Amino acid sequence: MKFKDLRTLALVQAPARSVSERLERSCFSVEDVRRIAARRLPKGIFDYMEGGGEDEASLRRNQEAYSDWSFVPRWGSVANLDVSSSLLGGPASMPLYLAPTGGTRLFHPEGEIAVALAAQKAGLPFGLAGLSNTPMEAVSAAAPSLRRFFNFSLTTDKGLLQALVDRAASAGYEGLIINVDCRAIGHRERDYRNGFTAPPSIRGKTVIEGALHPRWTLRFLANDAIAFPNLSGEVSTGPLTSTPDMWRSLLAGSYEPTDWRDIEDLRERWRGPIIVKGCVSADDALVAAGIGIDAVQVSNHGGRQLDHMAAPLDVLPEIVDKAAGRVEIIVDGGIRRGTDVVKALALGADACAIGRPYLYGVAAAGQAGVEHVLNLFRAEITRTMMLLGVTSIKELRTRGRDLLRHRSDVLGLQARPTSTHI
């Protein structure tokens, strides 16, 4: 066994009181936290978190796209450097928000509560997935000062849709995040090969993996059953239950057509901010802006839906150019470093969103793991801006393109159209 494997194993087995300190001493990047998550979780559970659609080409490209851009630092004072930002009219301690992810209690019994508490402590917004395992009301009660948004896919059941919206408003959710990339469920072949189901079912592979990961198994068995309590418009008062049909209906919009008119109707009925998530088309961003949507989240669902869908960073400059400041732009997908965040903002994004990185954290060490991941991002964003010679997020976005070179420029090829500023 290699030394780094021994070090990781020691962290996995560490007592709870020393987890934060051991994370600081042993995990110097999101990738280090990812390795611990991989050791803690049964293969089928980890692959559910990690995997993408079909051949996973989009999944790979999401990260590769960031390597196509290089920094061009400038000399100058970096006194009073400030990474604080804003999103949709409210504060964010850095230009980051925690994107909605479903089934979080599969990875750790604290689930969404751990993530919400970490986001609240860090001063960052949090998007709660409709497919969360924790009721939206419980998240509000646990983290009352958290800026929180509720996420779901459109459904043709107007009664259910209105009930969900009313319930989110009653629970104090500031805004809505509407998926527009879930008209069908992506073909995630890792899950099929692993025999993965949610909630997990008992079968041969499940039993073997459970035996190989006793700590996860004991925690899983000792806690409430996995369920999806936000799938109806009613607050659950009894045991949390869900059915595959309920899950499938909410995830895939009831498999019936919805279009921009449904989003426009929702815009008329919801007074708070709305984010349209899953947009990679500049024309769609313009439509969203035209009907009063507050932000578009440039996303391909982490490569989990349509394979070979454009990587968000690859289409970001075109969307920024065409949107021309009419709508806020958030980008996700493949972000693993503070340098990735800085590159996206230099290309015109208003903020970035992360999903898998904080899931690695929650799987590795619950709330402490998420806090550590967020601290890594803050340190990396700060260090990158200092080395670039910029002192604020506004300056970063204003100077933008002057701080970057695309690999096609370096190779002497025709550079892609890019934006310098929005």
Predicted local confidence at residue 54, as pLDDT: 94
Q: Answer whether 373's CB lies under 8 Å from 338's CB.
A: no
Q: What angle do CA 251, 217, 208 make, to 5 degrees?
A: 95
When pLDDT is averaged across residues 25-44 and rounded to a whole number, the result is: 94
When pLDDT is averaged across residues 164-176 and rounded to a whole number, the result is: 96
More confident of the two residues 11 and 262: 262
Q: Answer whether 275's CB lies under 8 Å from 296's CB.
A: yes
C-alpha–C-alpha distance, residues 373 and 356, integer Å: 11
Q: Is the per-residue pLDDT at 170 higher than 50? A: yes
C-alpha–C-alpha distance, residues 95 and 380, integer Å: 12
**pLDDT bucket at 1, cuts 50 / 70 / 90:** very low
Other beta carbons within 10 angstroms of residue 395's beta carbon come to 17
- Token pair of 393, please? 């997020």
**pLDDT bucket at 13, cuts 50 / 70 / 90:** very low
pLDDT tens digits for range 204-238: 566 677 667 778 777 777 778 788 889 877 776 55
pLDDT tens digits for range 350-409: 999 999 999 999 999 999 999 999 999 999 999 999 999 999 999 999 998 899 999 887
Predicted local confidence at residue 227, as pLDDT: 84
When pLDDT is averaged across residues 63-79 and rounded to a whole number, the result is: 92
Q: Is the peptide bond before 199 cis (omega within 30 degrees of 0)?
A: yes
**pLDDT bucket at 323, cuts 50 / 70 / 90:** very high
Q: Answer whether 149's CB lies under 8 Å from 128's CB.
A: yes
Amino acid at 167: R
Active site residue 187: no
Predicted local confidence at residue 9, as pLDDT: 42
Predicted local confidence at residue 224, as pLDDT: 81
> Which candidate in 108, 301, 308, 421 is catalytic?
301
pLDDT tens digits for range 242-256: 444 445 554 544 445
Predicted local confidence at residue 232, as pLDDT: 74
Question: Exposed, middle or buried, 200 (CB in 10 Å: 0-12/13-18/19+)?
Answer: buried
C-alpha–C-alpha distance, residues 410 and 353, integer Å: 29
Share of the chain above pLDDT 90, in %: 67
Q: Which helix (H) or strand (E) holds 404?
A: strand 404-406
Question: Exposed, middle or buried, 327 (CB in 10 Å: 0-12/13-18/19+)?
Answer: buried
Q: Which helix (H) or strand (E) holds 87?
A: strand 85-87
Question: Residue 184 in 3-state DSSP?
Answer: coil
Give the max Cα distance, the chain.
Answer: 65
pTM score, two decimals?
0.88
Q: Which helix (H) or strand (E) holds 354?
A: strand 351-354
**Total count of residues recorded for the chain:** 422
C-alpha–C-alpha distance, residues 408 and 412, integer Å: 6
Amino acid at 295: A
When pLDDT is averaged across residues 285-302 and rounded to a whole number, the result is: 96
Q: How far is CA 407 from CA 88, 127, 134, 182, 418, in A?
A: 33, 34, 44, 33, 13
HSE of 409 in the Cβ direction (CA atoms, 13 Å)? 13
Mean of the per-residue pLDDT values for the chain? 87
